[in-house]
Amino acid sequence: MQENKKSLRIVIADNESLIRLDIREMLEDAGHEVVGEAVNGRRAVELTRQHCPDLVLMDIKMPEMDGITAAGKIYADKIAPVILLTAFSQPDIVDKAKDSGVLGYLVKPVQESQLFPAIEIALSRWQEMQGLEDELEKLKDSLETRKMVDRAKGIIMAAHKLGEQEAYRRMQQYAMQKRVPLKDVAQSIIRAAGGKA
């Protein structure tokens, strides 16, 4: 039995019921919760969107929608990390899996000794990716704010014949008085001047 720090909520997708049962038992014995089981990729995507699990374990070869396509949809929606299960370990399948955002790959029959390390690695990579995306969003927002503040400063400098530092100081003062972010002040100045923020 695997000891885990945190109980995970997991969706299993495989069109073979014995494989789903085997994996479910391994996961539940380790203290995890299987929140959904699917027999095809389309249902796996639906269950993942519905339950927002911590992880999805999904077979590659399934009816209606294969596991790689389903994993790509789940990755695009940024819902959960996906580990693919397959009876085949062909290089072309591995390449397709990498392109779909999959964070792990296990060859069936799945062994407990391989399953839990794969889960740990997938979750760790997922957290890293989420952290990087959050940081990228903050940087984008920061750059957007800076551009807006510079435009607003230019408007104030031209309208009141002020230097750059004084224009910026006045914007900061106004933001503090009104208790609003500097970005909001800059947007208001740009709009008031007839521009698009």
- Tell me: the pLDDT tens digits for 6-22? 899 999 999 999 999 99
Distance CA 170, CA 147 (A): 17
Per the CB < 8 A criterion, the answer to whether 133 and 148 are in contact is: no
Going from the C-alpha of 176 to that of each of 8, 142, 184, the distances in angstroms are 44, 18, 12
**Is pLDDT of 1 > 50?**
no
Q: Residue 53: is the preceding peptide bond cis (ω within 30°)? A: no
End-to-end CA distance of the chain: 57
Q: What is the pTM of this model?
A: 0.68
Tracing tokens 């792990």 back to the chain, one arrives at 104
Distance CA 184, CA 63 (A): 51
Q: What six digits make up the tokens of 118?
A: 């794969």
Which of 10-14, 35-39, 140-144 shows the lowest per-residue confidence on average (mean pLDDT)?
A: 140-144
Give me the phi and psi of 33, to 5 degrees please.
Answer: -115, 125
Domains of the chain: 9-110 (3.40.50.2300), 138-192 (1.10.10.10)
Per the CB < 8 A criterion, the answer to whether 83 and 48 are in contact is: no
| Residue-level pLDDT at 86 | 85
> pLDDT tens for residues 53-76?
999 999 998 999 999 999 999 999
> pLDDT tens for residues 98-139?
677 788 888 888 888 999 999 999 999 888 888 888 888 888
Distance CA 28, CA 21 (A): 10
Give me the phi and psi of 49, to 5 degrees please.
Answer: -65, -40
> pLDDT tens for residues 162-185?
999 999 999 999 999 989 999 999
